[in-house]
Amino acid sequence: MQQVTVYRQPGRFAGWPANYGMWAWGDELVLCFVAGYHDSQGRFHARDVSRPFETLQARSLDGGETWRVEPFAGRTPRGRALSADEHMLPELGVAAAIAAGDAPLPSPRCWDLQHPDLAVLCARTGLAAGVQSFFYVSIDRCHCWQGPYALPMFGQTGIAARTDVLALNESEALVLLTANKTDGHEGRVLCAYSADGLRTFTLRAFIGPEPPTGAFAIMPASVRLPSGAILTAIRCRGADNTAWIDLWRSDDVAHTWRHIGRPVAFGQPGHAGNPPTLTLLADGRLALTYGNRDAPYTIAARLSTDEGATWSGERTLRAGGGSRDLGYPRTVCRADGSLVTAYYFNDRPDGDGERFIGATIWRP
């Protein structure tokens, strides 16, 4: 197991890869994240809300062992950071730019979803009622992003997208999204369908019932199995402030879903859990990775040999977290079969200090 630093700067707060995406072409990897500024008064998320975040991407050409950080290679509304409005004053966010007239439009073309150098990135404004979402497409391994292109609201009180796109063939795709509940709060998961290369979308199905007041089911992470079945891992919080990860399965291309298990149940209430990643390995096993905000604060993984019906015990990928402010991973498989799991982390014993982007290279 190898620990790598992707981005770490004194005085900065880098975070939340799960909100963006990570892509692999053999040993060429690209990871998106945001960076703002550290502020000890930020408490749990120790960031300075009075200063803007910026969207960055990091590229590795050697399977994640070394990284070069570069600006996000696309246009954002008025240059604002993507998917970070809740971490800044309102006037600094994407929602303000959109309200001022710089709004994404639907994609004017049908994209080839089996292009060998394709990447799709989903983004959003904030989290509250009225949140809007959009996406970008790259066909040159993230050297240039086309977009932003609007995602519909699907009749919901808000759509808070993070990247979870399953290409079915060159023109059809499923896009799994977090919708705000009828009361405007986070959230429940829905599956949208595109038949024309992400040009238009329809609502296919919700995954599970709407959670009750104070609870949520958000941030899906999905894989398509060789059989065609789809598995989706979902970050959940109960009305009693407990947190867990649920697993759902569809055998009819996302028209209907059934709950098949709870791979992770966090033991300490009050931290709202952490989003999962779900990765299909070459030998058919599944890897589930997540930040464990229970003390002692780790990045963790579990493996399944039976399509998610049962899971191994927890494996620690990185120990030494300084507080619950960590996780939000993304995981990809590199050319030699090793996995690269990227996340944000803090390692000061008092839980203060900069938040940085780290990665663990590991054999499942």
Placement of tokens 């240039």 in the chain: 144
State the pLDDT confidence band at 24, using cuts at 50, 70 and 90. Answer: very high
Residue 85 CB-density burial (10 A; 0-12 exposed, 13-18 middle, 19+ buried):
buried
3-state secondary structure 190-209: EEEEECCCCCCCEEEEEECC
Q: Give the span between the Cα atoms of 54 and 190, in whole angstroms.
A: 28
Query: Contact at 8 Å (CB) between 324 and 293?
Result: yes
Asked whether the beta carbons of 354 and 47 are under 8 A apart, the reply is no
Q: Of 39-48, 178-187, 214-223, 251-260, which range is least confident?
A: 39-48
pLDDT number for residue 45:
87
d(CA 153, CA 130): 9
- For the chain, the domains span 2-362
Q: What's the mean pLDDT in 180-198? A: 97
pLDDT of residue 87 exceeding 90, the answer is yes
Q: Above 60 in pLDDT, residue 42?
A: no
Question: For position 29, what pLDDT does the model report?
Answer: 99
Strands of 216-224's sheet, edge to edge?
216-224, 230-237, 243-250, 258-265
What's the mean pLDDT in 149-154? 98
**Pairing, β 165-167 against β 356-362:** unpaired
Mean pLDDT (whole number) for 182-203: 98
Q: What is the DSSP string of 223-252?
A: EE-TTS-EEEEEEEE-TTS-EEEEEEEESS
Token pair 């600006």 is found at 71
For the segment 211-252, what is each residue's pLDDT rounded down to a tens digit?
A: 999 999 999 999 999 999 999 999 999 999 999 999 999 999
Residue 328 pLDDT exceeds 80: yes
State the amino acid at position 349 in one-letter form. Answer: P
- State the pLDDT at residue 43: 64
Level-2 CATH architecture, domain 2-362: 6 Propeller (2.120)
Whether the pLDDT of residue 4 is over 70: the answer is yes
Q: What is the mean pLDDT of residues 325-331?
A: 98
Phi and psi (nearest 5°) for 22? Answer: -150, 135
pLDDT at 129 (0 to 100): 96
Mean per-residue pLDDT, 111-138? 98
CA 311 from centre of chain: 22
Residue of higher predicted confidence among 115 and 42: 115
**Nearest in space to 337 (alpha carbons), one of 280, 290, 293, 262:** 280
The tokens for 128 are: 């509250």
